[in-house]
Homo-oligomer: A and B are copies of this chain.
């Protein structure tokens, strides 16, 4: 059973997404539930700090998801939440007023899938009846924490990704006809292939993603072509190409159905986002606004979503350590009746 597939029996009931102006300008812009439509206001969402704005986005995303399901917060047995801020404060402050049992997670950009995996495990094991999973990132809170002061204006590397300003939340509950199904999960294993370049997170995370995918295909005796789509989040364009190569070496052609959430959210050429989007919020909002509705409508019957995270911090990089990566996976299916 070790390192194996976890059979799941849960449904994804509703998702809520909140994004900043740059994400609103991107190819998926009109699909998000809430977006900031004012350029150059810093995506502050009425708060006095970028960190506070991110917390507010988490708050809005959970409220939106609850509203779509016509649920009050006390209908939730637990929330699973995380973000990129040191000590995951966007989640702690953002969800505080809901007064709901709270599990704090840290999975870097894999947090959305980590939360969905744990939520659906709790439902499948009959430990809980209804949970929410929430993840967020904010470009400005991430830039000044991980990289340089916002006004510094440093040149970005072509392989660098752009942290998404976004938050999304999902309600996970008991499996029901007519709802999107979560049918399998696989927990990621931390992998370190010696990458030290923080401007190339895709390279650091791709081996962990390939590891989980290969374990999953072997355990389920399936191939990439068996799925309508396989989505990583967020390897960006650089990491996406590396993953294709790594999988080819292992005998898997990822095919046309494979894409990365970081490549879907921006028009990289027009929006100057280099290798694409990243951050806990990226795969979260792409799932909420794009992939999940397509599953609901039956446009996708069966997809894999792979949350990928880079598990370093700025100090560990200064201390010369490598960037370990992780990739958590869930398999989602369209409602049985569409």
Contact = CB atoms under 8 A, between A and B. Distances in A.
B74 A2 contact: yes
A106 B118 contact: no
Given A86-B86, A122-B125, A127-B121, A104 B189 contact: no
Interface in A270-323: 309, 311-316, 319, 321
A187 B101 CA distance: 5
A314 B101 contact: no
Interface in A62-76: 74-76
A190 interface: yes
Interface of A: 1-4, 6, 48-49, 51-52, 74-78, 82, 84-89, 92-93, 95-96, 99-108, 114, 118, 121-122, 124-129, 145, 186-190, 192, 309, 311-316, 319, 321, 324, 326
Given A82-B106, A122-B121, A311 B89 contact: yes
30 contacts: A2-B76, A2-B100, A3-B77, A3-B101, A51-B319, A52-B321, A78-B187, A82-B106, A84-B87, A86-B315, A87-B108, A87-B311, A87-B312, A87-B313, A88-B106, A89-B315, A89-B316, A92-B312, A93-B316, A93-B321, A93-B324, A102-B188, A102-B190, A103-B107, A104-B114, A105-B105, A106-B106, A121-B121, A125-B126, A125-B127
Given A106-B105, A108-B87, A4 B312 contact: no
Contact of A118 (B82, B118, B145): B118
B319 A49 contact: yes
Contacts of A103: 105, 107, 114, 118, 187
Contacts of A82: 106
